[in-house]
Every structure is written in structure tokens, then in C-alpha cells.
Amino acid sequence: MPRVTLYLLFFLALPLHAAERERADWAAEFSAQDAVGTIIVVDERTPDKTTWVHNPERAAQRFSPASTFKIPHTLMALDAGAVKDEFQVFPWDGTQHSYAGHNQDQTLRSAMRHSTVWVYRGFASAIGEPKARAYLQKLNYGNADPSVDAGDYWIDGKLAISAEEQIAFLQQLYRNQLPFKIAHQRLTKDLMIVQAERNWILRAKTGWEGRYGWWVGWVEWPEGPVFFALNIDTPNRLKDLHKREAITRALLRSINALPAAH
């Protein structure tokens, strides 16, 4: 094999953290929110695709994806035929859930917006563990292990992914490079829209395992996307959940990846 090709393959195989630049100043925002965690930001608006990180050790550590898994899970469900499209209605069975948004009929769009676990629990049942494992391995998603003793494997099971791996997955989704139909990737990205203005779109998904929480996604600009993956401890449980977006938005504003708050 030619030396140039070998070098290229070696370069492509380098872990994300090989090009990371640690941002010690970002610790102040975590301290201001009384939060412990990590964040990676990859700014592809810059020629060198600048990668910044707070707490690189934790950024390489795997955690349960919790509801950030709804992103790949949606692709899996569409591919497996567990859901036809964004218009299919999933009837609520009347079981009362603590979050009011779960106590109603759902579509893919509302299930993503409200993070409706019971809809995705149905997808997991329809797909089955062997096929889920095959999908995860095909995606190279974290440790690709959907096994669980009890509960939902993306919350209570062995499935785990790092912030670095979240970024790599999101970059492939952004470019429609995942092993799924492009139409399904485009639909999933549409479902992820959190906020949009004339010249930028924020696509993201929260996740919460109980002990820690996620916010992952990207901001699309005409100059290119800015990817992010944040993971923080949530010792105060629900009282800590707002910190996920608060920290991320503040740091994205600091690099002009989001406009200043009004």
C-alpha cells in the first residue's frame, strides 16, 4: 500500500481528542451553574475544524445515552418499519406519566419533542435485541451493547457512549453518511429542530439518566455547522436539568455559534 495512503488512513483513524484544544476558561461557566461535567464543541466554520473541550478526560468516558438515543433509535425504527413516517399516530393507553406531554397520543415529532419514552419502548419491542445490536454495531455507536436486565437499554442497560463518540455520530448524520436511507436521515434531522432563525438552525436532543444529563446537537450556519456534546452530573435531579442548555448556550454564544441572548 502506498505510503501516502497509509498516512491518510492513520490520520482518519486518529481519535477526536488528538486535535482537541482544552478551554480552561470554560470551567467558569460550569462553576457559575454549580455543575460538574464536560463539553466538546467542533466548529466547522473554521478551516481547521477547531475542536474545543472542557474536561477532556470525562469527554472520553462513556455514559448511558439516555434520551439522546432517540436520534439513532428513530433511524432504526424507520428502517425496521416500526414507524412509517412522521404522521403515524401512536395512541396513548391512558397510563398516567409524571410529565404531562407524555399523556396524549403521539407522533414521531411529538415523541422527539417531549422525549416520550413509551413510544420508543414500543420501537425497542418491535425491533428486538438482536436486530438492535446489529444496528448499533453497524453505526459503531458507543459500546454497541443493548443488553439490559430490566428497564430500557438506552437508560438502564449497558449501552454507553462518550461525548467524543456523540460528536462523531452527529457529524455523520449531518452529512447523511449513516447507513440508513437519506430520506430517513433528513426526517430525523427535521425532528431535531429546537430553534431556527433566518440564517441559523439549532438541532439538538436532551437526555437524562437520573444521575447525569446530556445535550447534544449542532448549530447550522451558512459558513458551516458547530457541533456540541455536553454531559453533566445531576445530583439535584430535576432542579439541575436546566443547566444542560444554560451552559451549552452560554459557551456557544461565547464563540458566536449562537447569537447573543435578548
Tell me the angle at which helices 117-127 and 70-80 cross, rounded to the nearest 10 degrees: 50
CA distance 247 to 33: 7
CA distance 141 to 137: 7
Is residue 125 flagged as an active site residue?
no
Complete DSSP assignment for 4-70: HHHHHHHHHHS-GGGGEEE-GGGHHHHHHTT--EEEEEEETTSTT-EEEEESHHHHTS-B--GGGGH
176 class by beta-carbon count within 10 Å (0-12 exposed, 13-18 middle, 19+ buried): middle
Contact 252, 219 (CB under 8 A): yes
Contact 143, 64 (CB under 8 A): no
DSSP state at residue 97: -
Q: Which amino acid is at 120?
A: Y
CA distance 138 to 210: 28
CA 102 from chain centre, in angstroms, equals 21
Q: Which amino acid is at 144?
A: A
Q: Which of 31, 64, 67, 125 is catalytic?
A: 67
Catalytic center residues: 67
